Each structure stands twice: as C-alpha cells, then as structure tokens.
Chain A
Amino acid sequence: KAGVTQTPRYLIKTRGQQVTLSCSPISGHRSVSWYQQTPGQGLQFLFEYFSETQRNKGNFPGRFSGRQFSNSRSEMNVSTLELGDSALYLCASGGQADTGELFFGEGSRLTVL
C-alpha cells in the first residue's frame, strides 16, 4: 500500500512568487492536514481537510491556502512568498477510521531567495 506522496520534494523560489504543493494521501484516507516546520518555530499546524471541507485552520496569514479534491488529494498554495516562508512543509494523511492518527509524507522543502 503506497504511503503519503508529496510533490515536489525540493523547490527554490524568489520573494513575491507563489508556490503550489501537492499531497496524495494513503488510499482510502479522507483526511489531509498540512504542517510547516522551521528551525525557529518548530512544527506548526496549517490546516486540515476532510472530504473536501476545511475542518480546521492554524494561525497563518491569508497568503497560505489549501484545498482538497474529490479523490482526497490536497494542494496548498502560498502566494507572495517571503523569506520566512522557507521551511519544510509536511502533509499527513488521516486513518480510515478517522481516529486522528496521522501518517506523514516525506515533505516538500521550500527555499525562498
């Protein structure tokens, strides 16, 4: 059974650009959540989707947005990139029973120059 797949794995952008990251959850899982990891702030929750609906949202500016498609794949978008957006972005898939147990992908490492 395939795990959580995140693409791209690495990317470099410049300030002011926008970026879209993709996450395919484990087959049968309907919940997808996103996290940002930086050395200074640790691991922080961005948002969570379940059956195409945003179920929860962290404390991030409106430049950070996401969506989930009918096949449970999710994308997150960051517009008007800032240097501080450089981070590892992790996606997690929720279990079939939606117990809250999380399974993580390998992450997308974004560098903003």
Chain B
Amino acid sequence: GIQVEQSPPDLILQEGANSTLRCNFSDSVNNLQWFHQNPWGQLINLFYIPSGTKQNGRLSATTVATERYSLLYISSSQTTDSGVYFCAVRTGGYQKVTFGTGTKLQVIP
C-alpha cells in the first residue's frame, strides 16, 4: 500500500517563528488533506488540497502531485498552533485513507 511520511517528526518553535512541514507519499493520490489534532484529540480540517496552493490566514499549503509531496506553511506561529499535524491521502476512486506519521509541533512563548 501507499506509504506516507511526514517530516520533521518533532518541531519546537519560538512564538512568532515560521515553519514548513512536509508530507511525502509513495504513489499517486487524488485526494490530500492536512489536519491539526488538538489536545483533546479532535482532527481539525486545515486544507483539502489534492493539488495546487491554498492559503487561510497564517497557514498555507502546496501540493505538487507529480512529485508526490505536500507542504504546510505556518507563519508567525502562536502557542495555539501547538499540537500534531497530519496529512492524509487517498489513492484513486474510493480507496481507503492513509494517514501520515504526523509532526508534533510545540510553540513556546
């Protein structure tokens, strides 16, 4: 099956710093999402981005499907950005969803 790896696995930032999280996948996908898991466990939608670039406030994401990776940019980080970030992909049709390994982000004041 498809392999999805995220890097870095852990990241500590000073408040106000910028960061880039990466998601690499081993096969073609037709569906990619980024999520932020809050401390209570809920997965919050950040982006649905099978290809191209999207922006939402301080966050933006880019997926280059032909090169099999996606990037999540966080600018001017805040302590509330702390948590675990996951990417999730689905290959063609109605194939099962595969989650990445996650990036644990800690933003310190």
Contact = CB atoms under 8 A, between A and B. Distances in A.
Interface string B24-52: 00000011010100001111110010000
Interface string A84-113: 000010101000000111111111010000
User: B interface, by DSSP: helix, strand, loop or mixed?
Assistant: strand
Interface stretch (A12-20, A40-48, A73-81): A40-48
Interface string A38-82: 000011110010100001111000000000000000000000000
B41 A107 contact: yes
Contacts of A22: none
A45 B102 CA distance: 15
Contact of B97 (A88, A102, A103, A107): A102
Contacts of A35: 97, 99
A33 interface: yes
Interface in B74-90: 86, 88, 90
A106 B40 contact: yes
Contact of B96 (A37, A42, A56): A56
A43 B86 contact: yes
Contact of A48 (B33, B40, B94, B102): B94
13 contacts: A42-B102, A43-B102, A44-B99, A48-B94, A48-B96, A48-B97, A50-B94, A55-B94, A56-B94, A57-B96, A92-B43, A100-B30, A104-B44
Interface of A: 33, 35, 37, 42-45, 48, 50, 55-58, 88, 90, 92, 99-107, 109
Given A102-B45, A106-B42, 16 more contacts: A33-B97, A35-B97, A35-B99, A42-B102, A43-B99, A45-B96, A50-B94, A56-B96, A90-B41, A99-B31, A100-B90, A100-B94, A101-B31, A103-B45, A104-B35, A105-B42
